[in-house]
């Protein structure tokens, strides 16, 4: 058992402040037909406008649904909203269902994957053209990989309790959240072991691209000990991004490097240009078109106003919350994430923000942490696997048990604050996975394929179809259903109003958007 720390003791004296932690979820999932092929249909009208609906939109592809919750004070209310939105969406899909796995279903030819459409307004076209740029830079298939993003904000009182020094509350927040991110970077390999659920993929996904995967069956490639191929180097293979090293030692340096990335041209993108035959194909020719193109496991975030750049919002008002981006869709949950996962994340992130978090050396980049992360996503369940800690080797199991022991007091504090034992229970469930890798989601995916003698595609289609039936047949009160219907209709009206209000050309709008980025 880890010994108490001064910070732990101070939180214990004001434990009710933990009930002010807020969390939200963004869950992605492809629409597919009954055979598990990517839906080529437009976003259903009954789901509202992808531009303006606060809960139901799309990410990259027209078929890649993104379901967004509001901000919640409890895991129970968070998952209740997520389930209600899933129930509504499932009822509106005509002979389609949501693919409940991070690695994609059967995709059509690259050129036939539909990019998300957000209407004819300048705001909508900006989102669409940005996605055209992603297609040119990374390929369309890679953009169809889905995940779950877990957003969390800490109560302001926590910064004083932790002794985070700062001239202002905003400075305290910035320092506190960046300390959290540094510790997250050190230990996020543990999340990939515990929650990675994509050890295999359909052979067709990679096409003729070179790879190091093994053959599971005629239709499936995999790695026997992998936890999350989604988070492996099969994802964003891009030289421009691979050279980008952001710093989490302080917000100023982070923003300066982000600013450099979104304002520095990249030769390959310059050769493409921004237009072909008069049509926009990317927003600019820089390393990143916009800040959100940077692919990372966690991000510091600030809610943006319409037309505002994320980096400008962070620079002017500071960090508001963090976004955890490395979670795979849980194929065994109808909504893609379980309550015990959320509770473990809350305890893990409270540990990350409370534990000592030394600055990273040199330029603020931590390659050793990235090496551990990459090792776990590709072979995390390998017997006897070792990672690097402080320059020496340690077994994954020993380090994971030690980390869970260090997280346990924070789970206990959350249980004390909420008056229950669910966080401690969630922690013990993860400890079982550490001691028996067959209990991990990634192992269960492979075992289900073996038990039923099914390919990855057929197995995940069967699971997704079962969840669809559960969601469609589950209860939904008429008043709640009507609220969702009204919300969808209102979002379409709002989109039309935005389209009618545009006065400048799209070229002028793009120029204004770029001009809105301020140097830190």
User: What ranges do the domains of the chain cover?
Assistant: 6-515
**Per-residue pLDDT for 329 more than 70?**
yes
Structure tokens at 507: 């070229």
Q: Please, what is the average pLDDT of the chain?
A: 95
State the pLDDT at residue 4. 62
Give bridge partners of residue 322 from the DSSP assignment. 152, 300
Q: How far is CA 44 from CA 28, 80, 488, in A?
A: 16, 23, 10
State the pLDDT at residue 234. 78
Report the alpha-carbon distance of residue 520 to residue 263 in Å, rounded: 12
Q: 482-513 pLDDT, tens per residue?
A: 999 999 999 999 999 999 999 999 999 999 99
Report the alpha-carbon distance of residue 282 to residue 127 in Å, rounded: 10
Which stretch of DSSP H or E encloses residue 347? helix 339-354
Structure tokens at 437: 């890798």
CA angle 28, 484, 87 (to 5 degrees): 50
| 508 Cβ neighbours under 8 A, 6+ residues apart | none
User: Each residue of 357-369: b (16+ CB within 10 Å) or e?
Assistant: beebeeebbbebb
pLDDT range class, residue 98, cuts 50, 70, 90? very high
CB-based contacts of 468-471 (< 8 A; 24+ apart in sequence): 468/90, 468/93, 468/97, 468/98, 470/334, 471/83, 471/86, 471/87, 471/90, 471/334
CB-based contacts of 413-418 (< 8 A; 24+ apart in sequence): 413/8, 413/11, 413/12, 413/15, 413/18, 413/350, 414/18, 414/343, 414/346, 414/347, 414/350, 416/12, 416/15, 417/15, 417/16, 417/17, 417/18, 417/19, 418/18, 418/19, 418/74
CB contact at 8 A, 516 and 312: yes
Which stretch of DSSP H or E encloses residue 491? helix 478-501
Q: Of all residues in the chain, what percent carry a pLDDT higher than 70?
A: 97
Q: 243-271 pLDDT, tens per residue?
A: 777 889 999 999 999 999 999 999 999 99
Report the alpha-carbon distance of residue 332 to residue 461 in Å, rounded: 12
pLDDT range class, residue 154, cuts 50, 70, 90? very high
Residue 267 CA to chain centroid, in angstroms? Answer: 29
Q: How far is CA 217 from CA 441, 450, 451, in A?
A: 20, 10, 14
**Per-residue pLDDT for 366 more than 70?**
no
Overall residue count recorded for the chain in this entry: 520
Residue 412 CA to chain centroid, in angstroms? Answer: 27
Q: Is 46 exposed, middle or buried (0-12, 13-18, 19+ CB in 10 A)?
A: middle
Secondary structure (3-state) at 157: helix
Query: Taking residues 136-163, what's their average pLDDT?
Result: 96
| 450 Cβ neighbours under 8 A, 6+ residues apart | none
State the pLDDT at residue 363. 66
CB-based contacts of 108-111 (< 8 A; 24+ apart in sequence): 108/37, 108/38, 108/40, 110/139, 110/140, 110/141, 111/140
Secondary structure (3-state) at 244: coil
State the pLDDT at residue 274. 98
Residue 348 CA to chain centroid, in angstroms? Answer: 16
Q: For CA atoms 485, 47, 487, 506, give the dihedral sign.
A: negative
Q: What is the pTM of this model?
A: 0.96
**Per-residue pLDDT for 2 more than 90?**
no
**Per-residue pLDDT for 382 more than 90?**
yes
**Which of 237-251, 366-380, 419-433 has the highest average model confidence (pLDDT)?**
419-433
Report the alpha-carbon distance of residue 430 to residue 195 in Å, rounded: 9
Report the alpha-carbon distance of residue 442 to residue 440 in Å, rounded: 5
Q: Of all residues in the chain, what percent carry a pLDDT higher than 90?
A: 90
Structure tokens at 406: 């260090």
6-515 CATH pick, 3.60.21.10, 3.30.590.20, 2.60.40.730, 3.30.1640.10:
3.30.590.20
Report the alpha-carbon distance of residue 485 to residue 91 in Å, rounded: 11
Report the alpha-carbon distance of residue 224 to residue 313 in Å, rounded: 43
């Amino acid at each position: 058992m880890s010994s108490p720390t001064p910070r732990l003791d101070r939180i214990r004296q004001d434990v009710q402040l933990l009930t002010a932690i807020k969390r939200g979820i963004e869950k992605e999932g492809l629409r597919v037909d009954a055979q598990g092929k990517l839906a080529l249909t437009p976003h259903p009208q009954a789901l509202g406008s992808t531009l303006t609906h606060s809960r139901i939109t799309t990410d990259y592809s027209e078929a890649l649904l993104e379901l967004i919750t509001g901000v919640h004070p409890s895991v129970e209310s968070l998952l209740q909203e997520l389930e209600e939105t899933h129930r509504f969406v499932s009822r509106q899909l005509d002979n389609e269902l949501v693919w409940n796995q991070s690695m994609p279903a059967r995709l059509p030819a690259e050129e036939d994957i539909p990019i998300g459409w957000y209407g004819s307004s300048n705001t909508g076209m900006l989102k669409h053209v940005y996605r055209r740029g992603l297609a040119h830079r990374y390929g369309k298939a890679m953009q169809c990989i889905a995940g779950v993003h877990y957003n969390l904000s800490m109560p302001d009182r926590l910064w004083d309790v932790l002794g985070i020094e700062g001239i202002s509350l905003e400075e305290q927040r910035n320092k506190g959240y960046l300390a959290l991110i540094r510790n997250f970077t050190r230990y996020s390999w543990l999340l990939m072991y515990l929650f990675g659920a994509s050890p295999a993929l359909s052979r067709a996904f990679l096409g003729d691209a070179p790879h190091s995967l093994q053959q599971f069956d005629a239709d499936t490639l995999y790695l026997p000990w992998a936890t999350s191929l989604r988070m492996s180097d099969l994802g964003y293979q891009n030289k421009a991004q691979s050279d980008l090293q952001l710093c989490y030692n302080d917000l100023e340096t982070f923003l300066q490097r982000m600013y450099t990335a979104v304002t520095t041209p990249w030769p390959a993108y310059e050769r493409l240009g921004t237009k072909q035959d008069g049509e926009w194909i990317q927003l600019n020719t820089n390393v990143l078109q916009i800040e959100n193109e940077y692919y990372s496991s966690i991000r510091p975030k600030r809610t943006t106003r319409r037309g505002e750049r994320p980096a400008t919002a962070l620079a002017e008002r500071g960090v508001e919350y963090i976004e955890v981006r490395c979670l795979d869709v849980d194929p065994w949950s109808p909504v893609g994430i379980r309550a015990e996962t959320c509770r473990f994340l809350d305890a893990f992130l409270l540990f990350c923000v409370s534990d000592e978090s030394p600055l990273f050396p040199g330029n603020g980049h931590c390659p050793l942490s990235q090496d551990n992360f990459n090792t776990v996503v590709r072979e995390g369940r390998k017997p006897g696997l070792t990672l690097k800690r402080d320059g020496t080797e340690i077994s994954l199991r020993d380090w994971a048990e030690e980390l869970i022991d260090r997280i346990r007091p924070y789970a206990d504090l959350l249980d004390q604050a909420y008056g229950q034992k669910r966080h401690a229970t969630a922690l013990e469930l993860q400890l079982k996975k550490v001691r028996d890798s067959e209990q991990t989601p990634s192992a269960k995916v492979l075992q289900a394929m073996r038990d039923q003698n099914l390919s990855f595609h057929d197995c995940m289609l069967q699971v997704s179809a079962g969840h669809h039936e559960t969601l469609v047949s589950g209860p939904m009160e008429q008043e709640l259903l009507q609220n969702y219907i009204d919300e969808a209709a209102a979002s379409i009206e709002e989109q039309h109003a935005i389209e009618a209000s545009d006065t400048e050309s799209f070229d002028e709008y793009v120029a204004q958007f770029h001009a809105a980025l301020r140097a830190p």
